[in-house]
Structure 1
């Protein structure tokens, strides 16, 4: 059993800190405008970039990497939620996306 909750994209509170743990190429192709990007493998080295008093809503493409990231963050004393369905669900829900390339955002 996990020590964190899984939430749906539509249940993320307005103004919440969204942490995107996908790879750089995935982020560049399309992401939530207000998300913070820290690829999963960089998370331990960049833990100081996160506020331990802020709820983190962790997202990846489908939910696997974000599950591992949320599990690890909670073990470090952070408040983290796994976003079910990830960016695929974000896209399906019609939530806004931006890209770093200037092209139409896509989810890879």
Structure 2
């Protein structure tokens, strides 16, 4: 078995796994009841799915300039998706468009709605 065949096998496995995780994120977006649950279902598996797809692309492309671009894309994905989810969650909380019966704990209400560290 050559190195190219092994890299192609890794690319296939990562591509399938990334696609399945992205599919799970899409199903979670449709099936879950409220914004916070949907946001959680979209950000967690979607980010890992995109990273696996980027690994599959890196294994199949094998070019330095393209690998650098893929690393940048992965870094931006890791940096922006959690931050966007946090901002959406804060906006949903502040506007009251969430189902409080689905919350296990409401730490913001305990702190009076402040976003800073607990005192």
TM-score surpassing 0.5? no
Compare relative contact order (CA 8 Å, sep 6+) and give the higher one, 1 or 2: 1
- Larger strand fraction of residues: 1
TM bracket (short chain): under 0.3
Query: Counting helix residues as a fraction of each chain, which structure ranks higher?
Result: 2
Structure 1 or 2, whichever has the larger Rg, is: 2
